[in-house]
Structures are given as structure tokens and as C-alpha cells.
Structure 1
Amino acid sequence: MRYTHTLAAGLGALALTAALLPPPARAADASAPVCEVNRPVRFSGLNWESNLVLAGIERYVLEHGYGCKTSVEIGETLPMLAALQRGDVDVTPEVWPGQIEGAWKKALASGKVLGVGHVYDAGEGWYVPRYTVERNPGLKAAADLARFKEVFADPEDPGRGRIYGCPAGWACGTLNDNLLRALKLDKDYALFAPGSGAAQKAAIVSAYKRKRDIVFYYWTPTSLVGALDLVKLELPAFDQAAYTCMTDPKCATPVATEFKPNPVVTGVNAAFAKEAPRLTDFLSKLTVPDDAIDATLGWLETEGKEPDDAARYFLKQYAPVWRQWVPPDVADRVQSALERE
């Protein structure tokens, strides 16, 4: 009888101990998400703000909502498109098909790359500050620049004007080079290629603060265009044939046309998409309202933060937006991670 009582007491203690364990602690391992791939998901880190913010948003959701590990490979547009085809990276958060028209069509035709979703609509153009137009009221269109080269004198070649084009190595460099030739401005203007996106932005902001005249290429959505009072120079109406030639480095006789409106998509390696259908479904549903991306990039600019900080800002501020991209259980895990920060 003494042993029976001892055994019963022991079993009772074990049952009491098990009962006292908090249920979430016991269920945690069972409910923890398991990533569809057993290696880090590799993102293209193209070196402009909106792409890096998008990469930060997507990585946070994958890590905290889907249980994945992630990494970022930094590079330029065309080399990273080649990497996406090879499978060296899995996801490019921001692809502008219109800007790399020929290369993108070839990538899709290879069957190794997919373009999914509709992230937002992006645009491009040549801009001047509004105060420059007020000083030079005849300046309305890009073609008018021929009469104003002294206003935008190149400090390294005062006999010509300077247009601040794309940072060196960016795909938009071909477009700007061809547009300059199409407008017959190549004799009167030098197209200056800053060494980086940061250098380009610094040159524009410095001139603006000093009320100096400057003409430059830029794109939207960006915090800079939203923060400064700018005028976009007019170009001839969009023509697809002319634009196709403008994207070609070998375009012999470029014809001026408006930049093509760019519905931005997410680039996904096809083999990865097959391996990770749930992750690809998330990327396919990812779309960002214009006001949300503008406000997020504006916060990045005014606060002087990093793109990953802006990604978390977006996730904290726009839960009704991103919750539509993922299943409820994924959204709840992401929300919990944000609340723990």
C-alpha cells in the first residue's frame, strides 16, 4: 500500500507539473512556421531607396511570418537581372520592365524568370526647380534646353551645359544618352553621370538649397521629388517604337518620346517560384498605394534613417495594406514581431 500511495503521488505531481505549463509554450514548436526553402531567400539589393525599402519589407515578412532566413546581394540592374536568371538571387523587389524592355523580354522568354504582381506605377523624367522656370519663363520642354545652355553651364566645360543623368552603371543611362541625341542636345550639353545614387541626390539637393539652376534626370516614387518644388520638362507624346529604340544602346537614330509609364513588378526566379509557391503567392499579392510609399520614403528622408528602418515604419503604419498580402496566421506573426520591438 505504501508503494501504491507513492506511485500515485508521483503521477499526480507529474500531471500537476504538466498542467501548470503555459499552453503557448507547449504549442510553440508545433505552430512555428517552416520555410518552404531550407536556405536563405536571396534578394537583389538594387541601389535606390524604394527597392531597398521594399526588400526590407519583404524580408521582414518572410523572416517573421514564414520562418525563412534571408540575405541581400547588392548590385546594378542588369547584372542582377542576369543573377536572377541564373538563380544566384531569388527575388528582385522592384523591376521596371519598360526601362529594360529588351533585356526583360529576353529574361521572360528564357523561362527562368517571372514577373509577378503590380507593386506600383513608377515614372521618370527630366526636372528643373520651379525657381529656374520662374527665372527663365521660356523653359517648358526638354527641347527648349538648347536655348539655355548658359543657365546650366558645365563647371568643367563652360561652353556647354550640364544635365545630371543616371548614376554610372544604371540602365537608365542608355535612355538618357539616346534622348540627348534625339533632342539634338549632345553638342550643347554634357550628360554627367554621378558615381552613385547618393552622389546624384547630393548634387541636386546642394544646388536646390543654394537656389542654383540645375537640370537632372530623376524618377518617382522618391522622397526627393516629393520634397522639392520641381517642374518636369515636357517631352513628345509616348511612342512605343521610338521608346524601344531608346532603350537600345545601339539605337542609330533615336527619336524623342516621353518616358514610358512603368508598372513595377516583382522579379522572381522561376525555379524558386516552383519550390516556394506560398512565398510566391505573397509576392504576387504585394501592391503598395502611392500615398503609402510616398509617405514612407518621405519619412526616410526627413528622419535620416536606413531603408530597413523605413521598412519597419511602413509595416507599423500600414497594417491594413500589408495584411491583404498574406494569410491571417502569417499576418499575426508579423504583427507580434513588430509589437515586440
Structure 2
Amino acid sequence: MKRIPALLAGLLMTVGLASTDSAASAEKPAPIHFGAITWESGALTTEILRVIVERGYGYPTDTLPGSTVSMEVALARNDIQVIAEEWAGRSPAWVKAEQAGQVIAVGDTVKNAEEGWWVPAYVIEGDAERKLKPVAPELRNVEDLKRYPQVFRDPESPDKGRFLNSPSGWTSEIVNTQKLKAYGLNDLYSNFRSGSGAAMDAEIASAIRRGQPVLFYYWNPTPLMGRYKLIRLEEPPFDAQAWATLTDASNPNPKGSRSLPAKLSIGVSKAFHEQYPQLVSVFEQVDLPIDKLNKALAEMSEQRTPAREAALGFLRDNREVWKPWLPTDVATKVEGSL
């Protein structure tokens, strides 16, 4: 009988500890899921935002991998809450989700961003320093490519040229595949897709180092744009109806058009937009100067710096850029953590 009070006290203590643990678990917020973007500018922007959210506001974050389209679908379901670099309006998945009010494009994060088809300048102009003669001196637009498939000869299909497309799973890969059809180049050029963004970069850089002609899709901001002299080929003016045929992989008769004018935003889910208005206000202010961003991306690429480390370096070196995005007390917390 003497043991009963002791046992009762132990039981009460156990229940108390369990209640405390349960309360602590309930108070701990779930992490905000960011899409794990694989290209450099997206990866860097993701980590810049994560540092601000974690150190300025105290919210935990993590990243979830996926292709561009799968991340947009996940965002619509709120399985992911933030895509740090969203080329809004480019994929049917995004357009459908945006029209349904499931996703929202916040801010205008990088001005003067662009995408298109590019060749090294020496292909058209030559390079006296490297003793390279122009091999396609009259190449100006996509229509001119019909004259030059042998200049961009595909080593695996020597009777065709090679167009270096985005990796499969990227929204731009669908658009570029449709553009090849629209411009009448499908039978003249192989539609070559690299296994990843890194493999794509490696192939382009290797060709440029060797002074070889290379025709490829690319975009800005990127390290590549700051590293090499490139020329973008002209395309027909942007046309919304034509663009709809280019983003639809099943459309048998795509029409040629420049890509949708670039507007880089931060994609957020509807639930995130409602739950974190203070973070949405910050995201609306994000403005990454393209020259500073390209410089940071080039250093990140050349030194093989992890995106988180590069983001911390960017925040330390460019306080005048990001501090105006934040309330003073939050900016002080972030700055102090650096």
C-alpha cells in the first residue's frame, strides 16, 4: 500500500511530460516547403529567400525536388508553398492553376530577363584573337537556320544539324520542340536534350572553349551570359495565340513566335498567400539587379559554390540590395546572422 502514492506520482509525472512534449510538438511550426530548383539563378534565389525567412522571421524551411511542371502541380496542391523563380504564364499547368486561384505570382524579381535561341558571336562575326573565321556570316534569325544545318552538324546524325534543347521535364523543352516544328526545322535539326541543366551547360561551354559552332536554347540571368559573347537569333514578334500552340505539346500545328515576355516572379500557393501575409509583402519587394545577379552566378558556377553558401555571400556583399525589402527589425536580424 505504501507503494501506491509513489506509483501514482510517477504516473502523473509521465502524463505531465507527455502533455508537455505534445504541446511543444504542436507549437513547432511545419516547415515552409520551397521547390528545389536546379538551375543556378533559381537555386540562388531560393536560398536567398530561405535565409531571410529562417533568420528574419524564424520559420523553418526545406526544399522538395521535382521538374518544373511537377513543382507547379505541387504548388497548386500546396504540397510546395514557394517556387522562388517562376517564369509565370509559360506552362499550361501554371496557367490552369492560376486561373483556378490555386497559385499566385508575387513580385517582379529580375528585370530584363529573357530567353531564346543563341549562338556564340564568333559563329557570325568570327574571332580574330582566336583566329576563328565566321562560318555563318548571314545568320540573323531562325529562318536563316535552314541554310546552315551543316554548320551545326550533329555528330550522332551527320546529315542533320543539332539544336541543344532544355532537359526533358522543363517547360521550355516543350516550347522549343514545338518551335522546331513551327519554323520548319524539325527535319533539318536533331532535337537534342541534355540529361540535366549542368550537362547542358557543360556541352555549351565545351563547344565554346573549342571554338566550335553550337546552337542552343538559353535564358538570362545565368552565369553563361556573363561569361561569353553570345548572339540571340531573331524570331517573329510575340503572338499570344501562337504562344498557346507552342506551350501545348499535343498541338500538331504550332505557330512561330518569340517566347512570352519574361516576368520572373515568386510563385506561392493560395494557402501560403493567406497564411503568411508578412512574407508575401517581402516577396513583393524582391528586386535582384541583373548585373549583380549574373556576377554572383558566374562566381558560384566557376568556384562550384553550394547555393546556400553563395546566397550568404550575396547577402553579405549586397546589403543595399536586400535591406529595403524588409522591415527594419527583420533586416537587423538577418544582418546580424551574417
Task: Identify whether the pair has TM-score above 0.5, normalized to the shorter chain.
Answer: yes
Q: Which string of whole-angstrom CA distances, capped at 9 and with x for unpartnered residues, describes residues 141-183 of structure 1?
A: 1111111111111111101111001112111111101110111
Q: Whole-Å Cα distance in 1 between the matches of residues 28 and 280 of structure 2?
A: 12
Q: Identify which range, 166-175 or 277-286, moves more after superposition.
A: 277-286
2:302 corresponds to which letter in structure 1? T
Query: What root-mean-square deviation, in Å, do the aligned CA atoms of Structure 1 and Structure 2 show?
Result: 1.4
Deviation, structure 1 residue 196: 0.2
Question: SS at 2:93's partner residue?
Answer: helix
Residue number in structure 2 paired with 1:319: 319
Where do 4+ consecutive residues of structure 1 move more than 3 Å? none
Q: Whole-Å Cα distance in 1 between the matches of residues 145 and 106 of structure 2?
A: 39
Select 1:70's aligned residue among 61, 68, 73. 61
The answer as to 2:110 corresponding to 1:110 is no
Q: Whole-Å Cα distance in 1 between the matches of residues 277 and 88 of structure 2?
A: 23
Deviation, structure 1 residue 264: 0.9
TM-score (normalised: structure 1):
0.85
Q: How does 1:241-260 map to 2 (within 5 A)?
A: 241-260=241-260
Q: Whole-Å Cα distance in 1 between the matches of residues 89 and 74 of structure 2?
A: 19
Q: Which string of whole-angstrom CA distances, capped at 9 and with x for unpartnered residues, describes residues 72-111 of structure 1?
A: 11111110011111111111111112422x3222111222
Residue number in structure 1 paired with 2:229: 229
Conservation of the 8 A alpha-carbon contact between 1:119 and 1:288 = yes
The answer as to 2:90 corresponding to 1:99 is yes
Unaligned runs of at least 5 residues, structure 2: 1-26, 126-133
Residue number in structure 1 paired with 2:115: 124
Q: Which string of whole-angstrom CA distances, capped at 9 and with x for unpartnered residues, describes residues 262-286 of structure 1?
A: 1111111111221222122212221
Q: Whole-Å Cα distance in 2 between the matches of residues 128 and 238 of structure 1?
A: 21
The answer as to 2:165 corresponding to 1:165 is yes
Q: Whole-Å Cα distance in 2 between the matches of residues 95 and 72 of structure 1?
A: 15
Unaligned runs of at least 5 residues, structure 1: 1-35
Conservation of the 8 A alpha-carbon contact between 1:55 and 1:93 = yes
Question: SS at 2:236's partner residue?
Answer: coil
1:249 corresponds to which letter in structure 2? A
Question: SS at 1:262's partner residue?
Answer: coil
Q: Whole-Å Cα distance in 2 between the matches of residues 273 and 178 of structure 1?
A: 34
Residue number in structure 1 paired with 2:175: 175
Conservation of the 8 A alpha-carbon contact between 2:226 and 2:295 = no
Deviation, structure 1 residue 187: 0.7
Q: Whole-Å Cα distance in 2 between the matches of residues 153 and 195 of structure 1?
A: 20
Q: Identify which range, 108-117 or 187-196, moves more after superposition.
A: 108-117
Q: Whole-Å Cα distance in 2 between the matches of residues 234 and 110 of structure 1?
A: 35
1:142 corresponds to which letter in structure 2? V
Deviation, structure 1 residue 37: 7.8
Kindly name which structure, 1 or 2, has the bigger radius of gyration based on alpha carbons: 1
Q: Identify which range, 175-184 or 281-290, moves more after superposition.
A: 281-290
Residue number in structure 1 paired with 2:31: 40
Select 1:57's aligned residue among 48, 62, 65. 48
Q: Whole-Å Cα distance in 1 between the matches of residues 46 and 274 of structure 2?
A: 21
Deviation, structure 1 residue 57: 0.3
Q: Whole-Å Cα distance in 2 between the matches of residues 213 and 123 of structure 1?
A: 22
Conservation of the 8 A alpha-carbon contact between 2:73 and 2:93 = no
Q: Whole-Å Cα distance in 1 between the matches of residues 28 and 268 of structure 2?
A: 14
Q: Which string of whole-angstrom CA distances, capped at 9 and with x for unpartnered residues, describes residues 94-148 of structure 1?
A: 1112422x32221112222111111114211111111111312111111111111
Q: Identify which range, 207-216 or 272-281, moves more after superposition.
A: 272-281
Give the share of equivalent positions with the same residue, in percent. 37
Conservation of the 8 A alpha-carbon contact between 1:37 and 1:275 = no
Q: Which string of whole-angstrom CA distances, capped at 9 and with x for unpartnered residues, describes residues 44-96 of structure 1?
A: 01211111101100111111111111101111111001111111111111111
Q: Whole-Å Cα distance in 2 between the matches of residues 98 and 125 of structure 1?
A: 16
Question: SS at 2:65's partner residue?
Answer: strand
Deviation, structure 1 residue 252: 2.4
2:325 corresponds to which letter in structure 1? W
1:169 corresponds to which letter in structure 2? G
Q: Whole-Å Cα distance in 1 between the matches of residues 89 and 162 of structure 2?
A: 26
Conservation of the 8 A alpha-carbon contact between 1:123 and 1:260 = no
TM-score (normalised: structure 2):
0.86
1:103 corresponds to which letter in structure 2? A
